[in-house]
């Protein structure tokens, strides 16, 4: 390992290994990032990915409401259908032939004086993207059954499909580079400090790992501090012991790995101090963070970091927050309702904070999940699927509309090109098209888009119309 390039690759590989844990004590998630001054963008924009781990049951999240469509939904879902009397129509959607839809009751119930999902919808800032999922090329049911086109690896596997949703190339478990990180790679030059380009408040995720930019992980209170590097420690007087400890973990070494560990640890300390100092000037959030809601706490730190973007010298940022508990093979009606209640309150608070900060038009939140689930019931829940429906929220969103094609009213008709069994949908829109729309809004050029999403060249249209 004598060349500069091989050394760089070796250190990068070591750094990727080091961030496998969500909360390394030395905060090694800053490895391989170099802060660089560059031409800054005239405005600020941020993406926030809200990932539902486990595979969200999209059919009970956004529900057909007009009577013919609901009757079919109810017949297919049987024991896990939500009674129509508990639903409220979101209105007719012209792009779907005038069909009506309703949000899950847990998304439609205002709480804590916060806006609920129908409020966002009626205000025109919430869109639904229908039947989107991982694809390599446009695929029909016949092609899937014949395996006549390339397919995403290990469909219906949690780990693989989480990675497929988030990864750039190669797709599948073990991928090291995500499309959010590649957006960061291309746009980090617009930030005065590249350290804070890609930030995760929801644990380690391949989505935010780029080829140069790696994710910076934070907790609900901000930077994770390294203990015992200041003040009196181990019963000693003064700062002699803590100063010696800091020198020990950040000092230079003739050993390649030890030296790089020192460099990264020192960088982590400096970044943590920078973030902590900046957050001291962040305004208090109003309303307060909803209690007992981990997702709301994640979104709160995201909002606080957005509030101090100027101090951090950032113009383009990509964030990830997450919530689990969506693998509802059993107890779907109760467990799904509990999780969506948390989502409704957290998202309502987040959007209210964005308005308070005056950045609601500059921040776009979107949902993602392992996969959709079967339309049919397994008795008490639904099983792993493929395509699913997702939400996009923000002041720039062309909302109050459904993009793509919601499942047809003749869903179980013979020869249906969508259903591959049990009401499991072949996606009609690819994750690449979904992601490319966000990347373009952030400022990635059409020429550079294949650098973010190599498979985008297989799809037309390349971009969806929910963002300008």
- Pick from 175, 184, 207, 167: nearest CA to 50: 207
For the chain, give the percent of residues with pLDDT over 70. Answer: 83
The answer on pLDDT for 268 being more than 80 is: no
Determine contact, residues 179/453, Cβ cutoff 8 Å.
yes
Whether residue 280 lies inside any domain: the answer is no
Distance of CA 402 to the CA centre of its chain: 20
Whether residue 294 lies inside any domain: the answer is yes
Confidence band, pLDDT 50/70/90 cuts, at residue 165: very high
CATH code where residue 333 lies: 3.40.720
Distance of CA 82 to the CA centre of its chain: 27
DSSP string of 259-318?
HHHHHHHHHHHHHHHHHHHHHTTSPPPSSPPPTT-HHHHHHHHHHHHHHTHHHHT-SEEE
Note the pLDDT tens digit of each residue in 185-217: 999 999 999 999 999 999 999 999 999 998 999
Whether residue 265 lies inside any domain: the answer is no
Determine contact, residues 114/377, Cβ cutoff 8 Å.
no
Per-residue pLDDT at 289? 95
Q: Which domain does 294 fall in, by range?
A: 19-228+286-458
Per-residue pLDDT at 273? 86
**Reduced to 3 DSSP states, what percent helix, strand and coil does the chain have, rounded to the nearest 5?**
40, 15, 45
Whether residue 242 lies inside any domain: the answer is no
Q: What phi, psi does 429 have (nearest 5°)?
A: -125, 140
Least confident of 24-33, 83-92, 288-297, 352-361: 24-33
Per-residue pLDDT at 173? 78
Distance of CA 16 to the CA centre of its chain: 20
Confidence band, pLDDT 50/70/90 cuts, at residue 271: confident
As for how many domains the chain has, the answer is 1
Whether residue 236 lies inside any domain: the answer is no
Q: Using CA atoms in the order 269, 274, 280, 285, what is the torsion angle rounded to 10 degrees? A: -100
Cα 96 from Cα 428, distance rounded (Å): 14
The answer on pLDDT for 81 being more than 70 is: yes
Burial of 172 (0-12, 13-18, 19+ CB in 10 A): middle
The answer on pLDDT for 419 being more than 50 is: yes
92 Cβ neighbours under 8 A, 6+ residues apart: 66, 98, 99, 100
Determine contact, residues 426/165, Cβ cutoff 8 Å.
no
Using the structure block, give the residue that is written with the tokens 């007992």.
292
203 Cβ neighbours under 8 A, 6+ residues apart: 22, 217, 322
Residue 242, classed as helix, strand or coil, is helix
Cα 164 from Cα 431, distance rounded (Å): 9
Furthest-apart CA atoms within the chain: distance in Å:
80
The answer on pLDDT for 242 being more than 70 is: no
Q: Could you report how far apart the first and last alpha carbons of the chain are, in Å?
A: 47
Cα 285 from Cα 366, distance rounded (Å): 22
Note the pLDDT tens digit of each residue in 356-414: 999 999 999 999 999 999 999 999 999 999 999 999 999 999 999 999 998 766 665 65
Cα 423 from Cα 435, distance rounded (Å): 25
Confidence band, pLDDT 50/70/90 cuts, at residue 174: confident
Per-residue pLDDT at 228? 59
Whether residue 396 lies inside any domain: the answer is yes
- C-alpha pair distances (Å), 393 with each of 122, 199, 400: 12, 19, 10
Other Cβ atoms within 10 Å of 192 Cβ, number: 17
Q: Sign of dihedral through CA atoms 102, 106, 108, 109?
A: positive
Cα 23 from Cα 218, distance rounded (Å): 9
Per-residue pLDDT at 254? 82
- Pick from 401, 403, 449, 429: nearest CA to 123: 401
Whether residue 40 lies inside any domain: the answer is yes
Per-residue pLDDT at 76? 87
pTM for the model: 0.89
């Amino acid at each position: 390992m004598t060349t500069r390039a091989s050394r760089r690759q070796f250190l990068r590989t070591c750094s990727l290994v080091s961030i496998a844990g969500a909360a390394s004590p030395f905060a090694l998630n800053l490895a391989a990032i170099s802060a660089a001054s560059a031409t800054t963008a005239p405005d600020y924009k941020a993406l926030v990915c809200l990932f539902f781990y486990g595979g969200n049951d999209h059919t009970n999240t956004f529900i057909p409401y007009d009577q013919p469509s609901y009757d079919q939904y109810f017949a297919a879902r049987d024991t896990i259908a939500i009674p129509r009397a508990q639903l409220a129509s979101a209105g007719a959607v012209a792009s779907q032939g005038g069909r009506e839809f309703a949000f899950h009751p847990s998304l439609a119930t205002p709480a804590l004086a916060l806006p609920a999902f129908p409020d966002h919808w009626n205000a025109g800032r919430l869109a639904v993207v229908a039947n989107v999922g991982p694809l390599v090329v446009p695929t029909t049911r016949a092609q899937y059954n014949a395996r006549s086109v390339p397919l995403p690896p290990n469909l219906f596997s949690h780990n693989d499909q989480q990675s497929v949703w988030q990864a750039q190339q190669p797709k599948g478990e073990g991928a090291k580079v995500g499309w959010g990180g590649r957006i960061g790679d291309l746009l980090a030059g617009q930030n005065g400090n590249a350290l804070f380009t890609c930030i995760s408040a929801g644990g380690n995720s391949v989505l935010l790992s780029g080829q140069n930019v790696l994710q910076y992980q934070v907790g609900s209170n901000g930077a994770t501090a390294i203990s015992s590097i200041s003040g009196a420690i181990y019963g000693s007087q003064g700062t002699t012991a803590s100063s010696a400890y800091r020198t020990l973990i950040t000092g230079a070494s003739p050993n390649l790995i030890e030296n790089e560990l020192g460099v990264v640890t020192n960088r982590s300390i400096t970044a943590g101090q920078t973030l902590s100092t900046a957050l001291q000037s962040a305004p208090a959030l109003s309303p307060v963070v909803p209690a007992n809601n981990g997702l709301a706490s994640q979104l709160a730190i995201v909002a606080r970091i957005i509030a101090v973007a100027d101090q951090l010298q950032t113009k383009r940022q990509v964030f990830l927050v997450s919530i689990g508990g969506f693998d509802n093979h059993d107890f779907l009606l109760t467990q799904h309702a509990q999780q969506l209640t948390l989502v409704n309150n957290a998202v309502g608070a987040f959007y209210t904070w964005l308005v308070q900060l005056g950045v609601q038009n500059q921040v776009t939140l979107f949902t993602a999940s392992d996969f959709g689930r079967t339309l049919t019931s397994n008795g008490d829940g639904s099983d792993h699927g493929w395509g699913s429906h997702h939400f996009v929220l923000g002041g720039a969103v062309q909302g109050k509309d459904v993009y793509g094609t919601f499942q047809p009213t003749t869903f179980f008709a013979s020869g249906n090109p969508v259903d591959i069994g049990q009401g499991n949908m072949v996606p009609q829109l690819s994750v690449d098209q979904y992601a490319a729309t966000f990347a373009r809004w952030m400022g990635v050029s059409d020429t550079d888009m294949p650098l973010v999403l190599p498979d985008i060249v297989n799809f037309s249209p390349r971009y969806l119309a929910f963002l300008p």
